[in-house]
Every structure is written in structure tokens, then in C-alpha cells.
Structure 1
Amino acid sequence: MKLLIERGLMFGNLIRVNSPAWIGFYNRALEKLTGRRTELTEFHIDLAGFSPEIGDELGDLDYLNPKSGNRQFILLTTEQKTAPLLNANFSVLRNILRRFIVQNESQLFSLTARDAVVGEIDSLVWRITSPADLLSIKQIQITADTTGNHVAESDQLTALIDRFRSEPDAWWDDVLIARMIEQARKTGDVVRNPVHLQHTRFDVPDYRTSEFGGVYVFRSPTIKAMVFVDPAQKVSIPGVVTMSLDQVNEIAAWMARAVLTEAIISDRSGNAASILRQKIDFILIDAAVRLGIDTGGATRAELRRAAGRMGEALPPEIRGLSALLRYAEQGGDWPVVDSSDPAYFYALRARPGPARDLLNMLLTELAPHDVRALFIMNKALFYRLYQGWDPKKQEYVADHLAREYQVDKQGTRDALFGPEPSMDEPEADDPPQRPGPWGVPRVQLDERRTPVPASPWGPAR
């Protein structure tokens, strides 16, 4: 992992904490949440205030994520909104925490000027004992306050002020006035400088959780579904299509029926060919390292020569992706690639919509050799797989990501996944899509259900 850290691909963009004031704030917050303190004079924190250095010092990388408890966080500055979220076991946490900071930024800026803000992320579900309970997670509630309880104290003063304004005889209530004065000494002027956090509840339509070995929960599509990473954990749930990652035909059919994906080669911006070439490169470098074939400097020409020496060991994904590349560059007949082809999921991306990012994350599990998409959309899986790769592949991937992705992150994301999705809810009564040229995914579907679009690719050009 040292190579990733040196290239800025791991623990990058963390917030540096080295001032005595911030360290004091952090220690008060840490002691309040965990009963422990740090002796470090410099460390880095992520979006939620987690520090890898402190985790190493305490021998507990989950010190802000207690077992059987809600995820906790520590805010020292509103600038944490730009930091990554490490050790996230809930895919929407980064987005929700960032929105919480942005939507309450003026109040949090005022609070963090004098103290650390500590909080808890609550899924509002008392207990999760079975996969069906995951469907009950529909909102996330964030509770937060400073270590000195400034928010609670301000809420008390606000309540006293409201009572003073609403009660007709409050002017003569010396006890009430005395309580207001005493409370104002603790909080300051809450009328001119309110510190009430207004935006604390956030909807959660679709998400991935690490519970039960990893589960993708899709509620926003017209056909609700749950995809289990571990096939042994899959159970039947009424009203929901349940699948496991090894059921590729069923997953492809669900994506087609709900019109959730599109072919990369349908991109009119001209990026399709370059994206497909890069996917082919990633697959070839993996195969060459695994087969012990020397690729020299791993240039595109050297990788093509290595592919010529693979013979029957050439990865099966290459044939389908090469056909798509020829079509993208030369036109001709639309390539036939269905869900039985290993190249199928490499050639897909999610359509714009509320579930776009989660669908792209799911696609990285179905097409794991596309290391660029894997790094962008599913860092936890990327880091786990990276540790098992050959050093030559590690170096190639780290160099490529540092050279081509780090210099233009947003441009790369736009090219790979298209523009940001609309947050409009999909219509339940959309008309059936026109049949595409790739045929129905190879899976038998219940004829009583909604007619199945032939494929997610759309009409041939």
C-alpha cells in the first residue's frame, strides 16, 4: 500500500491537524466519545474525523465506528467536507455527511470556531437481524453538538425566548428573565447568531452496506432489488428481486427490464473508443502478469504483442471488447454481446438517475479488471484486491492512476460515467423500450411480469 500512499492514491486529501488548539478540541471530543485521548502532536483526519494515525496508536481502526453502535464523527472544521471518508461500511455516508456540513455550514463554522462538534449517524432502525430489515433503512438522522453542548444550550435559550415572547405576563416573570440572562451567558446572542442545526435528516433510497457479507439495496428503480455479494446470505424477500453476484444473467435481465444501464459505445461524445482501449489494457496487463509474459514498459504496443503470445490463454473478455472497439471506430454491424459473454458488464455503465453511482459500483464487482472504474467507484474493494496483486501489476495500476486520473478527476469521471444524474424519480408507467440489437439476456423471465426490453443498449446507429 506504500506505493499508493506515495502516489497520493490512498489517504490523500486528508485534513492535517497540528495546532495545539485543534489537538485540544479533538482530545476533548475523543474523550467524550470513547473515553480515550491521543498523545500525537500531528495527525490527519477524514470527513468524519477519523485518523489513521490515531487508529494505529490506539490499536483500533474502528474507534469511531463501535460495534453494535451508530457511526460517530468529530468535526474540527467545515473544510472536512472536501476530505474522503475512510472505512465506510455504508455507501451513502460520505454524501450525507458532506450535505450535512454544506447545508449547516454557517452554524457549524460558528461552532467549530470555539469547540469540536461531535455527532452520531443514526439509521433509525433499532435492530438489524435479517436482510429484510435493510429495507427499513429509509432515512438517516444526524445528531450533533459541541463537547460543551452549545447546541443544546442554545436550544434551551431559544425555547425560553419563545416562551417570553408568547406569554402575556412574561415581562413580570423575574424567574424566567433571570434564567434567560444566565443561559445567554453560556450561549451568546442566539437571535443574531443562531446555532440551531436545521438540516439533520436525509433520505436513503439506494445504498450498499457491508452487513451480511455485503448487500446492494435498490429502491428507486421501477423494479426493487437486492444484490448479495455472498451467495450464502441471499434470501427471498416479498416484493423484491433478490440476486447474488454469481447470478450474472439474472442481474443483466433486471438491469434491462428496469432500463438502468446503457452501452458505452452509445456515447456520442467520442470517448467510447478510448475507454474500451483502456479496459482492454487493464485486462491484458492482468493476464500477462498472471502468465509470466514480459510486457517491458507496458505500453499499448507491448501489451498487444504480449496478447499475441497468449494464444488460447487470451482472456475471454478481450474478444467481445475488441468487437465493440472495432464498431466504435469503424462502424458496421452492431456487435452481439449478451450476458453470457464475459465482456458484457465491461461494456456497460449506469444511466443517469438516483441509483447511478450505486449501479456503477455494482458494475465494478461484475467487471473487476477495470481497475480505473474500481478505484473511482469502489475504493474498499480496490484496496482489498490490490494487496493480492503481483508487484508488477501494482506498479502499473498505481502509475496509470497517478498519471491519468489524478490530474483530471472530474474530467475522467464525466468521460467514464457521463454527466451527473437527475434526482427525478423514475416513472412507474414508462412505455416499454424499443428492442436493441443485442437480444434478451440469457435468462428465463416470468411472463406475467412487465415486458422485457431486449437489451439496455438502445437502437443501433
Structure 2
Amino acid sequence: MKRLIEAGLMFGNLIHISSPALVERYNRALTHLTGQRTDLSDFHIDIAGYSPEIGDELGDHMYLNQNGVNRQFILLTTQQKTAPLLNVQFSMNRSVLRQFIEQNENQLFALTTRDAVAGELLNSVYSLESPQQLFDIRRIRIEADTTAGTLRQAQALGDKIDRFMGEEDAWFDDVLIAEMITLAKKTGDVTRNPVTLDLMEFSPENYWTAHFGGLYVFRGMDHPAVISRGEKEDLGKLPIKYVFDFNDRNQVAKFLDYNDLVEPIVKARGVDAAAILRQKMDFIVVDVAQDRGIDLTGATRRDIRALARDHAADLPEEFHGLQSLLRWAEAEGSWPKITSDHPAYFYTLRAANHPDRDLVNMLLAELSPKDMRQLFICHKEAFYSAYQGWSETKKGYVVDFLTREYQVDKAGTRAALFGHDAPLEVAEAAPEDDLIERVGPWSALRRGQAEPPRRPEKPRGPWG
């Protein structure tokens, strides 16, 4: 994993803590939450305040996430909102923390200039002994305060001020006045500068969890289901109608289709479908080269294509399925029949434009694991797990590719692969089916641009 860390592909974008004042604040919060301290003078933290260096020091990388259910957090700066979340146990936790920081950014900025903010993502489950308990998680509530209890004291001062202003004889209550003065010394003037946080509540319906081997829970769908990475029989009876595992390819494909969660890459607007398919094919060739012990050091795309020619007989069905789809995309072949039974099927899809698209792309990444770029972008935990089993030559190629092709323009790459930027004026001008017939399934015509020659009439693909 050292190679990934040095390339910034693991533990990247963490916040470096080296100021003695911040280290001391972190220790106060750490003691407040866990009763422990760190002797390190500098370390890095993620969005939740977890530090891999402190995890090594304590011999416990779950020191802020005991039982992997109610994650605790330490905020030293609002800059943590851009950091990743490490040791992910639930897919929604990072977005919950980021929304909390962004919605309370001004207040948190003021609070963290003097102290650390410590808190917890609370739900009604404190440990997960069985998969059935996942369905008891209905709401996530954020609880937070400074280590000195600033918010609690501000609330108490506010209550006393209300009492002072509302009671007729409060002017003569020396004890009440003394208590107000004592609290005001700690909190400041809460009437002019109110110290409050919107602690927020979330109701997660669709999410991934690392528990029980990895589960995708889709409760908020027209056709709800649980999809398990491991054997579904190991889960026992769940309070949901449909339970699938990765061996149920037909059922998973129908689930994605019935809920309108995916779209074929070749029908997606604004993407270079042919380029995406070629790259996926290259990744499959790299996987074959690893199995053959071929050295990939410094391999270019031309080298990868040469390997594909030299080892054509060894290439799996995924490659040949994508190749047939590529031939159609480049107007050089007929429509391929790629059903959900075909190993290439999930490689041909991406999430449609809906609120759970990141979760669906995460699922598709696990269903098409040879596409190491999508695995890295959409499912870091699965990528790091797969990486440990690769040969040194594949590790070197993957790190070099991601550094050269992805790190230089992360946002652009994600937009090109997973974005949904249909031109509004064109999308509103005609129904979708008519639009695809008129301009093709990969890009819209600019106004005034000549219409390309029509291809011979043929079915529009195996998806309808």
C-alpha cells in the first residue's frame, strides 16, 4: 500500500495537524470521547477527525467508530469538509458529515477558533449482531458540542436570560444574575452572537454498509431489495421482499431496470462512449497480462493493444462483449446481444441521473471489478481490498495510470464517465426517443451544425 500512499491515491487530501494548539485541542476532544490521548506531535485527519497515524499508535483503527455503527467525530477546522472519510462502514456517513459542516460553517468556524467540536452520528442501534438490525436504522441524528460545553452553556445562559426578562422580580434575584455573569464569561453575549448549531437529522433509505461482507440496502425504491456481496443464504430472513447476491445477475439486472437506476453507456448523452469502452477493454487486457506474468512497466495504450492482439485467445468474454459493442458504436458492426447473463453486461452500464447515482455506480463497480478505474473512483474500500491481491506488475501499472490519467483532472474524469449534462434547450425541444433518433445516442448537435448521414435502419440496441 506504500506505493498508493506515495502517489497520493491513498490517504490523499487529509488535513495535516502540526500546531501544538490544535494537537492539544484534539487530545481534549479525544479524551472527552474515548478517554485516550495521543503522544504524536503531528498527524493527519479525515473529515471525521480519524487519524491513521493515531490508529497505529493506539493499535485501534476504530477508535472513533467502535462497533462500526455510531461514528464519533472531532472537528478542528471547517476545512475538514473536503477531506475523505476513511474506514467507511456506511456509505452515507461522509455526506452526512459534509452537510452538517456546510450548513453550520460560520458557527463551526467561530467555535473551532477556540476549541475542538466533538460529536457523534447517533441512531437507535449501538451494535450490529445480525443483518436484521440494519432495518432498525431509521434515522441518524447529530449530537455535537465543544469539549468545554460551549453550546450547552450557551443554551443554559439563553434559558436564564429568558427567565430574567420574563419574571417580574428577576432584577432582585442576585443568584440568577451571578449565574448569568459566570456563564457569559464563558460564552460571550449570546443575545448578539447566538451560539447554536443546526444538529440535523437524516433518514437513510438507500445505502451501502461494510457489515456482513458488504450489503447494498435499497429500501426507498418502488421495488425495494437488498443486494449482498456474499451468499444471500448467510443473511437469514430479512424484513424485505427481495434479497439477491452477486450470483443473481438476472435478478440484479431486473432490479436496476425496474427502478430506472441505470442507463447503457452507448445511450448516455454527452459522453464519448467508444473511448470509455476502449479503456474498459484495456483494463481487461491488463488483468489477463497479470495472470500471464507479463511485465507492464511503462506500458502505453499502444502496448496494451499489442498485448490484446498477441493474447487474443486468452481474452475473457468481458473483452469480446465490449469489443462487439465498440464495433457497433463505431458503425462497423451489428447490434450485439449482451444480456444480463453475459459477463460484460454490467460493464456496459452507468447510473442514470437520480439522487442515488453514486450508490448505484458503487454497486456497478463491484459487479465489473476488472474496470479498476471505476472501482477506484466509486468504491475505494473494494479497490484497496482488490489491490492487495494483484501482482506487483499490475500494481505498478494501475498506480501509474491513475496518477497520469485520473489525478491530473479528477473532476473532469468523473464528469466524463458519470456526469449527466444533457443540453437543456435540446432536451426540451423533443422527446428523448425522437432526440436519440435525430442526433445519435452519444452527443447532441450544436445549433446550426449539419446533421450527420443517417445509418441504415436497425434496432436501437439490446436494451429497447
Are the aligned partners of 1:262 and 1:456 in contact in 2 as well (CA < 8 Å)?
no
Deviations 1:203-237 (A, max 9, x none): 31211112222211112321111111121433443
Are the aligned partners of 1:217 and 1:226 in contact in 2 as well (CA < 8 Å)?
yes
Deviations 1:295-321 (A, max 9, x none): 564222222222223243211101110
Deviations 1:45-89 (A, max 9, x none): 111111111111111111111137621111110110011111111
What SS does the corresponding residue of 1:369 show, helix, strand or coil? coil
What SS does the corresponding residue of 1:330 show, helix, strand or coil? coil
Return the offset for 1:364.
0.9
Once the two structures are superposed, the pairs formed by residues 34-433 of structure 1 within 5 Å of their partners are 34-67=34-67, 70-125=70-125, 128-231=128-231, 232-294=233-295, 297-330=298-331, 333-419=334-420
What CA distance in whole angstroms lies between the structure 1 residues aligned with 2:419 and 2:68?
A: 38
Tell me the matched-pair count: 430
**CA 1:331/1:224 → structure 2, altered by over 3 Å: closer, same or farther?**
farther
What CA distance in whole angstroms lies between the structure 2 residues aligned with 1:295 and 1:111?
A: 51
Deviations 1:67-120 (A, max 9, x none): 376211111101100111111111111111011111011111111111111111
What CA distance in whole angstroms lies between the structure 2 residues aligned with 1:331 and 1:180?
A: 81
What SS does the corresponding residue of 1:121 show, helix, strand or coil? strand
1:135 maps to amino acid:
F
What SS does the corresponding residue of 1:120 show, helix, strand or coil? strand
| Overall identity of the aligned pairs, in % | 53
What CA distance in whole angstroms lies between the structure 2 residues aligned with 1:190 and 1:110?
A: 13
Return the offset for 1:252.
0.7
**CA 1:126/1:38 → structure 2, altered by over 3 Å: closer, same or farther?**
closer
The range that moved more, 27-36 or 5-14, is 27-36
Q: Which runs of 5+ in 1 are unaligned?
A: 422-432, 437-454
Are the aligned partners of 1:263 and 1:457 in contact in 2 as well (CA < 8 Å)?
no
Return the offset for 1:161.
1.9
Residue matched to 1:451: none
What CA distance in whole angstroms lies between the structure 2 residues aligned with 1:68 and 1:293?
A: 40
* TM-score normalised per structure 1: 0.88
Residue matched to 2:445: none
Return the offset for 1:332.
5.5
Deviations 1:355-404 (A, max 9, x none): 21111111111100111111111101101110110111111111111111
- Alignment RMSD (CA, Å): 2.4
Are the aligned partners of 2:271 and 2:416 in contact in 1 as well (CA < 8 Å)?
no
**CA 1:206/1:270 → structure 2, altered by over 3 Å: closer, same or farther?**
closer
* TM-score normalised per structure 2: 0.87
**CA 1:113/1:387 → structure 2, altered by over 3 Å: closer, same or farther?**
same
The range that moved more, 308-317 or 183-192, is 308-317
What SS does the corresponding residue of 2:16 show, helix, strand or coil? strand
Residue matched to 2:450: none
What CA distance in whole angstroms lies between the structure 2 residues aligned with 1:457 and 1:410?
A: 31
**CA 1:99/1:457 → structure 2, altered by over 3 Å: closer, same or farther?**
farther
Residue matched to 2:455: none
1:65 maps to amino acid:
N
The range that moved more, 11-20 or 154-163, is 154-163
**CA 1:67/1:133 → structure 2, altered by over 3 Å: closer, same or farther?**
closer
Are the aligned partners of 2:324 and 2:333 in contact in 1 as well (CA < 8 Å)?
no
1:195 maps to amino acid:
V
Q: Which runs of 5+ in 2 are unaligned?
A: 423-432, 437-459
2:9 maps to amino acid:
L
Are the aligned partners of 2:296 and 2:393 in contact in 1 as well (CA < 8 Å)?
no
Return the offset for 1:418.
1.7
What CA distance in whole angstroms lies between the structure 2 residues aligned with 1:416 and 1:124?
A: 38
What SS does the corresponding residue of 2:119 show, helix, strand or coil? strand
**CA 1:228/1:78 → structure 2, altered by over 3 Å: closer, same or farther?**
same
What CA distance in whole angstroms lies between the structure 2 residues aligned with 1:354 and 1:238?
A: 24
Are the aligned partners of 1:226 and 1:242 in contact in 2 as well (CA < 8 Å)?
yes
Deviations 1:219-267 (A, max 9, x none): 2321111111121433443543211122111101111122211000112
